[in-house]
Chain A
């Protein structure tokens, strides 16, 4: 594919598997003209429309936001919608379902174990003041610097590419995996959160970050720049510091109250009425 501005023939070699008829997956080739700018996802749609209507995969947003279309494309986990055929620099495109997950059919992996592990991490802000959380009287303080400590990890779209790339996930279903662990750290490193002790119940044991050996693949393949490997190593530091009792206990951020006895400056309109 030297010239990316003209239509040229490509072959999509797709791993097909139909649980009702096949014992094992097999490869099938589809040849068709690929116009400039075509993504792998569009190629799959082309095949479904004109070559093989039974082809199954998952996709939704077609713009790298929903996390449905993670696939094993030319030997690497990627988003089909986020990968242009031309960037693969080959006229042979291999597409297989994400490894390390069971195959439901064709290119559809079963992500359930990942989502279960994610739920185990209690991926939400945990605080003692549950009353305040349900009936908030104000916002929690957070500086831009504190925001940066977790912002990157919050961009995760749960596509599972990192889990497919991780060598530990290749053999070990007990290890929670890069996505759930980085999401646990996304909350543990949020200055508004007080849930580290609760998450530690899971993280300090077999499902925790100890089976990560910094092979770094998760961060290399992540389409959103989440850098799960960074989150996991920072999490290990947090857990080691906790075990050795080296760190000070941090209090979750307090509520930003409207200060008393301050006069509003002229010409600034009132905030709109509260909706909750």
Chain B
């Protein structure tokens, strides 16, 4: 890297989260990151647990027995909610990061209307969808 003078002043990991005066999409970014990591952690364990079906019914039932109980039930709901958020927010990000839904370049006239404002309705719509999905999925856990 480039040799720098002066005293380092990077915000560090807390700069990922922002906090205080940052905007809506900043928090969606942090949450997308968190849910992505959570899904990956679950997925690696999941491959292990579901592999037990290769050894027949007894192995499967005992593996399933190991992950029963209210704690795992809540955990499973959290995985579902993380999936619901990451999936629908992922649709938004894939669209936006490929240049859709952010509007065309325009001559900026104050007050500026940026790409972030352009995709805001999409961001809000997608969050409503994630909430509905999480609630619908939650019904299954309540029974």
- A–B contact via C-beta, under 8 angstroms: yes
Residue of B4, B8, B9, B107 with most partner-chain A CB within 10 A:
B9
A173 partner residues in chain B, CB cutoff 8 A: 1-2, 10
Which chain A residues numbered 193 to 243 have a C-beta less than 8 Å away from chain B? 212-217, 219-220, 222, 224-227, 229-231, 233-234, 236-237, 240
Q: Does A112 contact B (CB under 8 A)?
A: yes
One digit per residue, 1 when the CB lies within 8 angstroms of any chain A CB and 0 when it does not, for chain B 1-39 equals 110111111111111111011110110011011000000
Looking across the interface, which residue of chain A has its beta carbon closest to that of B5? A110
Give how many B residues have a beta carbon under 8 Å from the other chain's beta carbons.
Answer: 45
Looking across the interface, which residue of chain A has its beta carbon closest to that of B9? A103
Residue of A17, A104, A152, A240 with most partner-chain B CB within 10 A:
A152
| Contact indicator B21/A74 (Cβ below 8 Å) | yes
Give min CB distance, A255 to chain B, whole Å.
Answer: 25
| Contact indicator B99/A216 (Cβ below 8 Å) | no
B103 partner residues in chain A, CB cutoff 8 A: 230
Looking across the interface, which residue of chain A has its beta carbon closest to that of B15? A170
Q: Does B126 contact A (CB under 8 A)?
A: no
A240 with B98, Cβ < 8 A, contacts A102-B9, A103-B9, A227-B108 known: yes
Give the residue of B16, B25, B105 whose beta carbon is less than 8 angstroms from that of A170: B16
Q: Does A187 contact B (CB under 8 A)?
A: no
A217 partner residues in chain B, CB cutoff 8 A: 18, 22-23, 25-26
| Contact indicator A167/B15 (Cβ below 8 Å) | yes
One digit per residue, 1 when the CB lies within 8 angstroms of any chain A CB and 0 when it does not, for chain B 85-107 equals 00000000100111100111111
For the complex, give the distance between the alpha carbons of A236 and B97 in Å.
7
Which chain B residues numbered 37 to 69 have a C-beta less than 8 Å away from chain A? none
For the complex, give the distance between the alpha carbons of A137 and B15 in Å.
51
A113 partner residues in chain B, CB cutoff 8 A: 1-2, 4
One digit per residue, 1 when the CB lies within 8 angstroms of any chain B CB and 0 when it does not, for chain A 90-114 equals 0000000101111111000110110
| Contact indicator B1/A19 (Cβ below 8 Å) | no
| Contact indicator A233/B6 (Cβ below 8 Å) | no
One digit per residue, 1 when the CB lies within 8 angstroms of any chain B CB and 0 when it does not, for chain A 54-83 equals 000000000000000000001110000000
Residue of A99, A155, A170 with most partner-chain B CB within 10 A:
A170
Q: Does A153 contact B (CB under 8 A)?
A: yes
Q: Does A31 contact B (CB under 8 A)?
A: no
| Contact indicator A230/B12 (Cβ below 8 Å) | no
For the complex, give the distance between the alpha carbons of A19 and B110 in Å.
39
| Contact indicator B115/A104 (Cβ below 8 Å) | no
B2 partner residues in chain A, CB cutoff 8 A: 112-113, 116, 173
Q: Does B73 contact A (CB under 8 A)?
A: no
A234 partner residues in chain B, CB cutoff 8 A: 99, 102, 105
| Contact indicator A171/B12 (Cβ below 8 Å) | yes
A233 with B97, Cβ < 8 A, contacts A99-B9, A113-B4 known: yes
Partner-B contacts on A (CB < 8 A):
17, 19, 24-25, 74-76, 97, 99-105, 109-110, 112-113, 116, 148-153, 155, 165, 167, 169-171, 173-174, 189, 212-217, 219-220, 222, 224-227, 229-231, 233-234, 236-237, 240
